[in-house]
Homo-oligomer: A and B are copies of this chain.
Amino acid sequence: MIESGDRVLLVGVEREFFVKAGPGTLSTDKGQIDLGLLVGAKAGDFLTTHNGSKFTIRIPRPTDFFTYGKRSGAPMLPKDIGLVIAYTGMNHDDNVLDAGTGSGIAAIYFGGVARTVKTYEVRPEFSVLAQKNITEAKLKNVEVVTADFLAAEGLFDVIHLDMQIRPEHIEHAHSILKSGGYLACYTPFLEQMTIVVDAATGRFAEIHTHELIEREMTRSKRGTRPSTSICHSGYITVARK
């Protein structure tokens, strides 16, 4: 049941709106919608504009926060977030530390998977934005900490770093990672990747650097083919303690 203040997607024909349930009116080219009617409704219900257009109510999923969440820069892509989840085997028993929160998109995905997520962001304006996105995603197990990753304490099952990584970060990650746990480091550039691999070598086991080249296959009347543009984003190094 949708409560006042909840984020909701209104999905019409060829258009979507990411709105807040509660007092107010959404004006669309298909007419107006009273957002107060969202309170108490549920996913799959319809709202109708004053001139009869129908919009389906959708409760946002992490994929929607990737699309509609406020951004402070380029967030990690879902393919890379999925790689981190799969290669660390992240699951509901895990306490996860995430550093370099950015806009909090990765933390939102991780929060839906893990027991708890503690996400460190040293830039206050970024952590405020991330907190906003995480609050809207209604994740109570994700804590945003405005501090340097080197200040992080505790013991974690998975540590994920998406920041300018120096050797001392790898060393610190090792000190607060459980035996058998995983470190995953996202680095857009090759030079950063080599810093991670070199600092992890000797300290961690099972060090592997992955790169995912993603293509979409398109299918039209003319035929089936890969789309011409393919996404490179970064290298992900996964290592185990």
Q: Interface on A for B, CB 8 Å cutoff?
A: 9, 11, 43-44, 56, 58-59, 61-64, 66, 78-79, 81-93, 109, 111-113, 178-180, 182, 188-194, 197-198, 208-219, 222-235
Contact = CB atoms under 8 A, between A and B. Distances in A.
7 contacts: A56-B180, A62-B89, A188-B223, A209-B219, A213-B214, A226-B232, A230-B230
B109 A89 contact: yes
A78 B88 CA distance: 10
Given A59-B180, A92-B92, A112-B89, A228 B232 contact: yes
The oligomer's copy count stands at: 4
A82 B129 CA distance: 26
Contacts of A78: 83, 86-87
Contacts of A59: 180
Contacts of A232: 215, 225-228, 230
Contacts of A194: 219, 224
